[in-house]
Structures are given as structure tokens and as C-alpha cells.
Chains A and B, each alone.
With several copies, the nearest count.
Chain A
Amino acid sequence: MTLSAFGARLQEDSFDAAAEQAALLAGRSDLGAAVSFTGLVRADHGLIALTLEHYPAMTLAQIQAIAADAAARWPDTIGTIIHRHGRLLPGEAIVLVTTASPHRAHAFAAAQFLMDWLKTKAPFWKREEWADGTTRWVDAKGSDDNAAERWLAE
């Protein structure tokens, strides 16, 4: 259980999910299961762009705290978390969580845990730009709170 078992980065640039997974797997020989989650800007009709605002003084520390929690829950599992900010176009990737473990169930669970908590505890806000000139802040979803809270009972 170390912070470094799950690395976290915050960046404006795009990422290469395959390269991140390869780098993760290169570190250990006992890994039989690798899971990746990629969150994407949906290519909804009329959506021009999605801008992610965040709270620079808090964001990375908050992601690292979530990562440390995952490391404590699944000590045999490693991972990388990359969250982008700034203006993204439809189809672009927003977030990557890639995990690897000797056990398939752990790799899946850690990835889901990280995503559920990133959705509810990482200080990002999405603003949509539409073709008609309007902008709209995306509403938080109750389903995300529920997804995160189910981990509290375990």
C-alpha cells in the first residue's frame, strides 16, 4: 500500500492509453489482468466542445487521495490515472484509468472504484458549447453519487 502503486496525472494534452497500459505492465511480471477505462466526450449532435474547469490547488491532491484509498483496498493492484482539463472536442478522451493485477476481479474493481470516486470527489466541472451559441454547465448525476456510495458499505 503505497501512493506510488497508482500514479496520477493532470494534463491538458491528450494521452495514449495503450502506451500508459504498456508502461504499467512493464513494471511487474505477475500481472495477468489489465483493465482500462476511457471516458470520452460524446459526439452529441450540435455539441461543439466540452471545457473542463478544475480547482488547481486541490485537484491533483484529491485524485492522489482517491488513488491511495484504492491502493489500500487492492494491495496487489497497480494503476495509472490521467485526467485532462481545458477545452476538448467531441470524441476526445477526458479521463483514463488503467489498472493491472494478478487477479481479474481486483483490476476491474479498482478501475470502477477510481472512476466512481473521480466522478464525485475530484473538483472538475464540465461546460458544454453548442452549435446554437449557447453554453451549459453539465449537471451532476445522482447515479454517480449512488455508484460511489456503494463502496462505503464494503
Chain B
Amino acid sequence: MQLVYFAWVRTRIGKDAETLAVPAGMMTVSELLDWLAVRSPGHAAALEDRSAIKVAVDQQFAGPDTSIAGASEIAIFPPVTGG
């Protein structure tokens, strides 16, 4: 599964993308974030305040309970500030 990071999620994790084999049975965005948060101090810092984290699953905005089954690309980023 491809993970892509933007803005301060990217700078805290220290990379803009990584390909990870997620454990079988991991079903939701929320479970993925819990699993990612313990991978490194950078991941932990990026994902510390879960209320400030937005996720897109295959380029669609997702919530904590959105399924990640079969997804190709999960994007993790702060609230958007364009416009």
C-alpha cells in the first residue's frame, strides 16, 4: 500500500511517501493511523493530534471508519488551507 504525506505531516514524518505492507486484517483508516503512529518518533509526532489529521483513500476524503481494504493509495495530511 502506498502512503503519501503532505504539509506538516510530511515534514514531521520526514518523507513524502512510503510503500508499506500493512498487516492482514487491518480494516479502517483509524486502525491504520494507530499502526503508523508507533513506527517512528516522526510518525508519532505527525499523528499525535488525531483531530488535526485528514485522510484520503484512493483520492477520496475518508473518515476514521472508512475501509482501507483494497486501497492503492492512502494520503495523510492536515486540514487543507488553499483558496
Contact = CB atoms under 8 A, between A and B. Distances in A.
Interface of A: 39, 52-55, 57-58, 61-62, 83, 94-95, 115, 118-127, 137-140, 144
Interface residues of B, number: 16
Nearest to B9: A125
Given A52-B82, A122-B82, 9 more contacts: A55-B59, A123-B6, A123-B80, A123-B82, A124-B82, A125-B77, A137-B7, A137-B78, A139-B81
B82 A118 contact: yes
Contacts of A54: 6, 82
B35 interface: no
B83 A125 contact: no
Interface of B: 4, 6-8, 56, 59, 61, 73, 75, 77-83
Secondary structure of the A side of the interface? mixed
Contacts of A61: 59
Nearest to B56: A58
A17 B80 CA distance: 24
B56 A39 contact: no
A53 B82 CA distance: 9
- Most B Cβ at <10 Å: residue of A52, A55, A138, A140: A55
Nearest to A122: B82
